[in-house]
């Protein structure tokens, strides 16, 4: 049993809480202003508690042969859950993390330190600024999981941002972003149009109830220039305790139809989620 004491600290963008999981030794939930941000098990970094994190993990799993090291750029850090996962499952990977909240980074470094020689470099900087400074063609997988509170910041939703992501990726690289929306998908549909304007291949991963418009929830957007192994991704997502659907091809084109790409001038944050929309998966 985890008998650690909760930690509460004001960080740059709110009040962060590290709450011990009473059922798992050395496991912690990070919240910021009450919104769940990350879950980390220091003894088992390959354990992904949140459903959306598992789906991002599935994208990484399908990006290369099992165990092969990758160059990964993470936009948004939180408690560094996915970087720890990649380090554990793909030893020798080189990873960069851009997280704007330096107070949060200090809290995580103090209470949830990274293992030695993890290959993870953490940068206290704006995600888009770091992306735009990334060497062209240097990244195998780009993961965007940036939320200001419970909303994706507007400057990470535009065609210039998508072009910067495409420029950083290698020719066979993969982009994966954690988004959140509900019917009628007034945020998601323009996001798909935005990335369709830059990338040749798109897919989305979400619970069937979210895709049917029955509730608000996380949607993983996957984009690449070359065909992605959607069959393997479908198998992994279907085998989860809370199965998700993978839509691609005509299904994604149907969602995009009528939506327009987003420019910097008209970009807005993702919608505020309704109360109780997010919980631990």
Question: What is the per-residue pLDDT across 61-78, written as a single tens digit (0 to 9) for each?
Answer: 999 999 999 999 999 999
Judge whether residue 277 has pLDDT over 80: no
| C-alpha span between 151 and 155 (Å, rounded) | 12
Domains of the chain by start residue, with CATH: 48-256 (3.40.50.150)
pLDDT tens-digit readout, 193-246 = 999 999 999 999 999 999 999 999 999 999 999 999 999 999 999 999 999 999
Q: How far is CA 211 from CA 61, 85, 160, 216, 278, in A?
A: 23, 27, 27, 9, 16
Residues in contact with 13: Cβ distance below 8 Å, sequence separation at least 6, in sequence order: 32, 100, 101, 103, 104, 148, 149
Look up the pTM and report it: 0.95
């Amino acid at each position: 049993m985890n008998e650690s004491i909760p930690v509460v600290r004001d960080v740059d963008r709110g009040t962060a809480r590290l709450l011990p999981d009473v059922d798992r030794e050395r496991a912690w939930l990070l919240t910021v202003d009450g919104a769940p941000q990350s879950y980390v098990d220091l003894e088992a970094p390959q354990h992904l508690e949140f459903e959306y994190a598992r789906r991002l993990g599935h994208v990484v799993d399908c990006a290369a042969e099992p165990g092969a090291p990758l160059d990964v750029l993470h936009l948004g850090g939180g408690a560094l859950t996915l970087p720890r996962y990649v380090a554990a499952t793909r030893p020798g990977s080189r990873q960069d993390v851009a997280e704007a909240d330096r107070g949060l980074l200090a809290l995580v470094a103090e209470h949830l330190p990274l293992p030695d020689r993890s290959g993870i470099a953490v940068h206290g900087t704006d995600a888009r600024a770091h992306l735009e400074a990334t060497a062209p063609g240097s990244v195998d997988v780009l993961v965007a999981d940036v939320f200001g509170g419970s909303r994706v910041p507007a400057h990470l939703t535009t065609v210039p941002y998508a072009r910067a992501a495409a420029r950083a990726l290698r020719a066979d690289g993969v982009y994966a972003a954690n988004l959140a929306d509900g019917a009628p998908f007034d945020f998601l549909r323009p996001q798909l149009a935005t990335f369709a304007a830059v990338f040749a291949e798109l897919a989305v991963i979400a619970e069937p109830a979210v895709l049917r418009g029955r509730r608000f929830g996380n949607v993983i957007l996957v984009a690449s220039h070359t065909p992605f192994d959607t069959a393997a991704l479908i198998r992994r997502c279907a085998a989860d305790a809370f199965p998700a659907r993978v839509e691609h091809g005509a299904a994604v084109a149907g969602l995009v139809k009528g939506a327009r790409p987003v420019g910097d001038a008209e970009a807005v944050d993702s919608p505020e989620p309704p109360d109780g929309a997010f919980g631990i998966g």
